[in-house]
Amino acid sequence: MAIKFNFTKADIEALPIPVHGKRDTYLDTKANGLQLRVSHTGVKTFSVYRRIKCGDAERVTLGRFPDITIDQARRKTMEISLSISEGHNPAEVKRGTKAEMLFRDLFAEYIERHAIFNKKTWTEDKEKYQNHIDKILGGRKISAIDRSAVSLLHGSITKNGHPIAANRVLALISSVFGWAISVGLWEVNPALGIRRNKEKSRDRFIQGDELPRFFQAVADEPNETVRDYVLISLLTGARRSNVCSMRWQDINFDRAEWRIEETKNGTPQTVALSPEAIHVLLNRKPSDQSVFVFPGTGKNGHLAEPRKGWTRILKRAGIDNLRIHDLRRTLGSWQAKTGASLAIIGKSLNHKHQNTTAIYARLDLDPVRDSINTATSAMLSAAGLKEPADVINIKKKVK
């Protein structure tokens, strides 16, 4: 049975969290029909629960506390009660309005109202949507998107040879509808209950016999930005988004360090730069006041997606099944080959794990730098190269 009490901010904030899979409902003593539902995740949502003249009960979701205040919820409850007394059904009106919303409009609201402020990977969400979702579901009314439609999309992406991408798309659709439910824009999540593909950890990295062909293909890349981007990605082991947005002001050539203020983990990172990485950066350093190391023509001002250049490099090298993210794994793998501990590798790649965080915190940059330099030297030796200049095969640009 629902508990009734006078809703106050302090009392609502003090409500207990239900056990997993349960949801508690509370009734306000001041506004007849006003409910507060508390999920096992701690989300508190206002709604109005009233009987219409025909006898059917309807629930109209108002929004999440504290985004909606108690006073706002009470005023809205009074408006809905008045509408019901006049013979209207606010729930039907709201359903009709929302059912006309297209999924691409809902996704746009999700990005603007939620993802930008809460997800560091929101740009990746937009990319997934454009690549996999918009053509199939974007133009549909959200009322027409059911579990069958989402399952067909997931199956189609899987059938095309991208089972992991299919899982990520399914998770994104679920997140969009989950957010829509939390803010009162929709009532059901059609992505729930769909079985995801089995996943296994990817262990691909550049093998010793592939390194000569890889470095030669990189050196032959005509696009200097793509070429240097690939080299820095390999020599630092940094994530794609961080390398793309690398800024000159964050590089200290005297200390051979690159400071990343915000990573995917939500923590800053200081990257030790090997002599080879410094060599690449010095050759790129412009005479003007350029902001980004890898400038681009997009709205962000920096390189966004080097996919075409990456495809050219792999084709010249004759290497299959290698992704840009595998460059990060390649550095870590060669660190392991040359004797680095897991703690050192985790520190250099900014891995975040509760069991090793304390160890990382006690490490300074010197052993990390030694490990990166040793791994880099090992890769160059395997590639048959001796000097950094041989890696990139260019001279410093004349301005």
Helix (H, G, I), strand (E, B) or coil at 243: helix
Q: How far apart are the first and last CA of the chain?
A: 77
Task: Tell whether the model's pLDDT for residue 298 goes beyond 80.
Answer: no
Note the helical H segments in the chain.
9-13, 70-85, 90-99, 103-110, 116-118, 122-128, 147-159, 163-182, 211-219, 224-236, 240-244, 275-284, 307-317, 325-337, 342-349, 357-361, 365-382, 388-392
Report how far residue 165's alpha carbon sits from residue 128's, in angstroms, rounded to the nearest whole number. Answer: 8
| 312, 221 contact by CB (below 8 A) | yes
Task: Tell whether the model's pLDDT for residue 202 goes beyond 80.
Answer: no
| 7, 36 contact by CB (below 8 A) | yes
Mean pLDDT of 275-300: 88
Number of other CB atoms surrounding residue 99 within 10 Å? 12
Report how far residue 279's alpha carbon sits from residue 396's, in angstroms, rounded to the nearest whole number. Answer: 9
Q: What are the pLDDT digits (tens) for 66-108?
A: 888 999 999 988 888 887 776 666 555 455 445 578 999 999 9
Burial 256-280 (b: 16+ CB within 10 A, else e): bebebeebbeeeebbbbbbebbbbb
Q: What is the DSSP string of 350-375?
A: T---TTTHHHHHT--HHHHHHHHHHH
Find all residues with CB under 8 Å of 289, minimum gap 6, and list them. Answer: none
Mean pLDDT of 284-304: 86
Task: Tell whether the model's pLDDT for residue 138 goes beyond 50.
Answer: yes
Residue 96: the pLDDT is 47
Mean pLDDT of 183-211: 86
pTM score of the predicted model: 0.56
Helix (H, G, I), strand (E, B) or coil at 323: coil
Q: What are the pLDDT digits (tens) for 151-186?
A: 999 999 999 999 999 999 999 999 999 998 888 788
Q: What percent of the chain has pLDDT over 90?
A: 46
Mean pLDDT of 382-388: 69
Residue 348: the pLDDT is 83
Band (pLDDT 50/70/90 cuts) for residue 367 is confident
Could you tell me the residue ranges of all domains in the chain? Answer: 3-89, 103-182, 211-392
Q: Of residues 367 and 109, which shows the higher confidence score?
A: 109
CATH of domain 211-392: 1.10.443.10
Residue 398: the pLDDT is 37
Find all residues with CB under 8 Å of 10, minimum gap 6, and list them. Answer: none
Residue 241: the pLDDT is 87
Architecture of domain 3-89: 2-Layer Sandwich (3.30)
Q: What are the pLDDT digits (tens) for 304-345?
A: 878 899 999 999 999 988 999 899 888 888 888 888 888 888
Band (pLDDT 50/70/90 cuts) for residue 388 is very low
Take residue 151 and report the two structure tokens written for it.
């399952």
Residue 390: the pLDDT is 46
